[in-house]
């Protein structure tokens, strides 16, 4: 089975500056070596990011996965 989006179409690049995704190819393709499940890529509005920050879920900063935090 090839990687596809939720609509069954081809994956599109999600982030190229910096390159995102487990394979750093800009897509959310995954494989057996991806133990962190880097399978979600989304375009979010400024309003959505502000709302998430206001409820304690700041998605605008990179941080290690929760299971790696002490």
Among candidates 40, 62, 60, which has minimal Cα distance to 48? 60
At 1, the pLDDT band (50, 70, 90 cuts) reads low
**Collapsing DSSP states into helix, strand and coil, what is residue 38?**
coil
pLDDT at 55: 97
- What was the pLDDT predicted at 23? 81
Tell me what pLDDT residue 17 has.
80
pLDDT per residue over 3-62, tens digit each?
A: 777 788 887 787 788 777 788 888 777 888 888 776 777 778 899 999 999 999 888 877
Q: What is the pLDDT of residue 52?
A: 93
Domain 1-69, classified CATH 3.40.50.300, yes or no: no
């Amino acid at each position: 089975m090839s990687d596809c989006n939720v609509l069954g179409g081809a994956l599109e690049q999600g982030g190229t500056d910096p390159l995102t995704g487990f394979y750093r190819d800009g897509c959310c393709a995954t494989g057996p070596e991806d133990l962190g499940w880097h399978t979600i890529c989304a375009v979010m509005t400024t309003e959505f990011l502000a709302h998430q920050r206001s409820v304690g879920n700041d998605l605008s900063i990179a941080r290690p996965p929760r299971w790696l935090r002490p």
